[in-house]
Amino acid sequence: MKNFQIPEFYKSKVISKVKEIRKENDPRKKDFNPTILDFGPVRFHIARHFGFCYGVENAIETAYKAIEENADKRIFLLSQMIHNPDVNNDLLTRGVKFLMDTAGNQIIPFSELTKDDIVIIPAFGTTLEIEKQLTNIGIAVHHYDTTCPFVERVWKKSENLGEENYTIIIHGKYKHEETRATFSRSEKNAHSIIVKDIAESRILGKFIKGELSMEEFEKVFEGKHSDNFDATKHLTRVGVINQTTMLATETQEIADYFKNLMIQKYGLETIKEHFADTRDTLCYATNENQEATYGLLKEKADLAIVVGGYNSSNTSHIVELCEQKLPTYFISSEKEIVSQKQIFHFDFTKQVRLSTEDYLPLKLPVDILLTSGASCPDSVVEAVLRKLLSFFDSSKKIEEVMNKITL
């Protein structure tokens, strides 16, 4: 796999070294047990996989390359490069400007752009409509296009399904940049509809079974399906794809649900005529990070710290998994850790920032699960580790512990 040129300030002497050691000892990525950093009064259980993935590193390398190569030009990001505040803020300090927010709302009108401007397409990709707008201005949209190849793989899958006349069911968050980009392509190839979870899938299933009226269907799926979508005709032959950062187990549950539904309605002998048995379209990093989280959760621990951007989909699903087992704090950086007594953290479901007192237990040793999303720099995770470590006076020195890593 390609090695990307990532700015040194995103790397970490501690976290990056842990990753290097694990890679040397487990090159085939078969062991999902965490690495334990035992400092005495506090022990950190570090997930086997987390942090920058292939798509993120590609996006970061391309963005900084664009800055370096175009010092005399205006440089714009279509929207956030990745869902991490540190990365996006650093690009802003270097003069890069955002054209849109993550919801697709215009910040700078396209009418202000010229053919000489540089526009960077983020890792999530963008819609065909936006590509056309930029091309009409004369901007070479694919020159600095950082769309993740695993996202493009999903686009290809939707194209294949469309060629075979399947209606495409997209498991994703319909306002997310990646889902909007995928939907713009899938609806070009086939009738398409977006479901955010298994609950919405079951609602769609009720309509397929004739248990839901058209009026009720529109209440749930208004704005989430392609134009001229006729729910009475276009749900007899379906295939499932997804936003690459969704929870893998739920995507599989959704696919299994629609397959079984089609078997019930049309019979097993004709299932291939009604359901495209597509393989999961999650990216390798999402799969590995979620598997590593399951491995992490086998450990006995007091709490979990998950680091990442608050609008990061893949990070939110790691939080979701951890919350099922133990107290979990979703933070963007070490700055959210106020003291040994107080921590600010984010409730992704309610979309609110919370403050919790006495989050560290009054016992020794304290066991902390530590991981991050795919767009979080190792340097930020290390800063979180060091901040927490500073609360334990009798801790061993980092250098001493790093020489005795438990694999």
pLDDT of residue 283: 78
200 is catalytic: no
Q: How far apart are CA 241 and CA 243, in angstroms?
A: 7
Q: Residue 78 in contact with residue 139, Cβ under 8 Å? A: no
Q: Residue 319 in contact with residue 327, Cβ under 8 Å? A: no
CA end-to-end span of the chain, whole Å?
Answer: 24
Secondary structure, 3-state, the chain: CCCCCCCHHHCCCCHHHHHHHHHHHCCCCCCCCCEEEECCCEEEEECCCCCCCHHHHHHHHHHHHHHHHCCCCCEEECCCCCCCHHHHHHHHHCCCEECECCCCCECCCHHHCCCCCEEEECCCCCCHHHHHHHHHHCCCCCCCECCCHHHHHHHHHHHHHHHCCCEEEEECCCCCHHHHHHHHHHHHHCCEEEECCHHHHHHHHHHHCCCCCHHHHHHHHCCCECCCCCCCCCCCCEEEEECCCCCHHHHHHHHHHHHHHHHHHHCHHHHHHCEECCCCCCCHHHHHHHHHHHHHCCCCCCEEEEECCCCCHHHHHHHHHHHCCCCEEEECCHHHECCCCEEEEEECCCCEEEEEECCCCCCCCEEEEEEECCCCCHHHHHHHHHHHHCCCCCCCCHHHHHCCCEC
The structure's pTM equals 0.89
Per-residue pLDDT of the chain (407 residues; tens, 9 = 90+): 677 898 999 999 999 999 999 999 998 888 999 999 999 999 999 999 999 988 899 999 999 999 999 999 999 999 988 888 899 999 999 999 999 998 899 999 999 999 999 999 999 999 999 999 999 999 999 999 999 999 999 999 999 999 999 999 999 999 999 999 999 999 998 999 999 999 999 999 999 999 989 899 999 999 999 999 999 899 999 999 999 989 888 999 999 999 999 999 999 999 999 999 887 676 778 889 999 999 999 999 999 999 999 999 899 999 999 999 999 999 999 999 999 999 999 999 999 999 999 999 999 999 999 999 999 999 999 999 999 999 999 999 999 999 887 54
Topology, domain 149-276: Cobalt-precorrin-4 Transmethylase; domain 1 (3.40.1010)
Q: How far apart are CA 325 and CA 321, in angstroms?
A: 8
Q: What is the pLDDT of residues 289-306, one digit of tens each?
A: 999 999 999 999 999 999
Q: How far apart are CA 163 and CA 177, in angstroms?
A: 25
Q: How far apart are CA 117 and CA 137, in angstroms?
A: 10
pLDDT of residue 2: 74
pLDDT of residue 164: 95
Domain map (residue ranges) of the chain: 8-53+284-402, 54-137, 149-276
Q: How far apart are CA 208 and CA 175, in angstroms?
A: 24
CA-angle at 342, arms to 340 and 343, nearest 5°: 105
Q: Residue 382 in contact with residue 314, Cβ under 8 Å? A: no
Question: Which of 157, 128, 131, 127 is closest to 142 using CA atoms?
Answer: 131
Hey, which CATH number is domain 8-53+284-402, 3.90.1150.10, 3.30.43.10, 3.40.1010.20, 1.10.10.10? 3.40.1010.20
Domains 8-53+284-402 and 149-276 share a fold: yes
For strand 118-120 and strand 192-195, is the pairing parallel, antiparallel, or unpaired? unpaired
Question: Which of 106, 117, 108, 112 is closest to 75 using CA atoms?
Answer: 117
The first and second tokens of residue 154, run together, are 């999903």
Q: Is the peptide bond before 361 cis (omega within 30 degrees of 0)?
A: no
pLDDT of residue 28: 87
pLDDT of residue 254: 95
Count the residues in the chain: 407
Is the CATH number 3.40.50.11270 carried by domain 54-137?
yes
The active-site residue, picked from 177, 178, 200, 288, is 178
The first and second tokens of residue 91, run together, are 């690009």
Q: What is the pLDDT of residues 44-93, one digit of tens each?
A: 999 999 999 888 999 999 999 999 999 999 999 999 888 888 999 999 99
Number of neighbouring beta carbons within 10 Å of residue 46: 24
Scan for tokens 């269907």, then name that residue: 217
Q: How far apart are CA 302 and CA 321, in angstroms?
A: 15
